[in-house]
Amino acid sequence: MLTNHLDLFVLGATGFVGAATVDAALAAGLSVGAWARTEAQAQLLRQRGVVVTAPPQIPAAKVVIDLVQPKLPARLTESALAEAARYRVEMTRGVLSALPAGALLFQVSGTDDFEPGVISHRSSFTSHPAGFARIGLSVRAEVLASKRPFASIHLGTVYGPGKAFASTLFPRLAKGKLPIVGDGANRMPLIHVEDAARALVHLATLSRESLTAHPWIVTDGADTTQRELLELGAMLLHARPPKSVPRWLASIVAGGAAASSFARDLPTDPSALTETGFAFKFPSIATGLPYSLARLEAA
């Protein structure tokens, strides 16, 4: 039954982060709404007590979390990301036009959106967007132009038992086909999917004034290197240690944008998040990766 005012409405509720966010919100006792594109999706959500509508309808809600993601090709180039950015801008226009009065939009993006350096809530947005920043900053510009209030949420690379990590990265790593790009010393902004979801739900309970005061960085802040991630993953999978390949070769195989993103050095500081009382369930891959692989094996 539709409530007068939902706590959260999740766009992309059946996706990797979206499904985990619905789980976290329901576990926290919040009222949740979501889009469903098929009747099968709608039935599964309704059985859990989620208020379901079809796009582009959005009922009254305190917070609307936009987790809709475009489909990306296996070989990721700058032109592919530019096309994805156009799709996301069109999608965002539809969301903004349907946004209920009084709702606060969570515009969820990534850590590539900022100038180089330690990425924190004090960081400046880059004036030369490339890679995934093409998507995030194009959407941000659209939201800013709308004059609607919004919270700027920036997730690190989300890992866990689902989506690309389950269907692509872990199997390739197990077969010795996922190499380290460059020397692997670059620090990666990682966040376990359950912590990403819990953080979004936690932030939704804060005041509007604090949410709109600055960007929010949602990473574990552990400064895990690419080499540490892939070597630990290979060890847990009982696979051969990954080999290193030069960045130019990775660009040919995976696309320049993918290679650049995977090899980019992005230390992060999520202190603004932790100072609100948020605690990570998985503060590093030391616990997050074994848990994720155990969930995959059990599935």
Tokens 């460059």 — which residue? Answer: 182
Tell me: the pLDDT tens digits for 47-88? 999 999 988 899 999 999 999 988 888 888 999 999 999 999
The Cα–Cα gap between 209 and 186 comes to 35
Sign for the CA dihedral angle at 273, 277, 282, 285 comes to: positive
- pLDDT band at 100; cut points 50, 70, 90: very high
E strands, the chain, are: 6-11, 32-35, 51-53, 61-66, 104-110, 150-155, 157-159, 180-181, 190-192, 216-218, 244-245
The more confident residue out of 3 and 232 is 232
Sign for the CA dihedral angle at 36, 40, 46, 47 comes to: negative
C-alpha 277: how far from chain center: 21
The Cα–Cα gap between 83 and 89 comes to 10
Mean pLDDT throughout 116-142? 96
Mean pLDDT throughout 159-168? 75
Per the CB < 8 A criterion, the answer to whether 84 and 70 are in contact is yes
Mean pLDDT throughout 165-186? 87
Cα–Cα–Cα angle for 54, 26, 136, rounded to 5 degrees:
60
All domains in the chain, ordered by first residue: 6-298 (3.40.50.720)
- pLDDT for residue 1 is more than 90: no
Mean pLDDT throughout 191-210? 97
By three-state DSSP, how is residue 252 classified?
helix
pTM here is: 0.94
- In 10 A of CB 243, how many CB atoms? 11
Locate 219 and state its tokens. Answer: 């990473």
Q: Which residues pair with 107 in a beta bridge?
A: 66, 152
Tell me: the pLDDT tens digits for 266-275? 999 999 999 9
- pLDDT for residue 2 is more than 70: no
* DSSP notation for 43-82: HHHHHTT-EEE-TT---SEEEEEE-------SS--HHHHH
pLDDT value of residue 3: 46
Mean pLDDT throughout 175-194? 95
